[in-house]
Amino acid sequence: MINSNPSHLVGQKVTLVGVAYDAHSGAMVLLSDETPVYISGLDCWEDQWDRKTLHVTGTLERKELAPDPEVNAAGEVSHGMFGSDLVIHDATWTEG
């Protein structure tokens, strides 16, 4: 089981250990080193899972979840995220 940055395992089936949280980009698990890994297709956790330590198994990928932020002529910055994020597909989870 993996509890820290799993970037080197992209494309592989993994089991991650982290705490379930809801974020603007959807449900995710936060690993012990504060690496967020989003759950593909899940907008938010049901109450029974939210803020619990979970074992999440699925295929790890990288995906751009939001557009890059833009700055307009007035210097205002739009909402967004630079780059791609770790996402786990076909996820299953258990409390642990």
- The 10s digit of each residue's pLDDT in 29-88 is 999 999 999 999 999 999 999 999 999 999 999 987 776 778 888 988 877 766 788 999
Q: Is residue 74 part of a domain?
A: yes
Instruction: Give a yes or no: residue 47 inside a domain.
Output: yes
Residue 39, Cα to own-chain centre: how many angstroms?
Answer: 6
Round to the nearest angstrom and report the end-to-end CA distance of the chain: 11
Extract the tokens encoding 93: 């989870």
Instruction: Answer yes or no: is 84 within a domain.
Output: yes
Give pTM, 2 decimals.
Answer: 0.83
Provide the CATH number for the domain around residue 58. Answer: 2.40.50
Q: How many domains does the chain have?
A: 1
**Residue 36: domain span:** 7-95
Q: Is residue 1 part of a domain?
A: no
The answer to whether position 2 is within a domain reads no
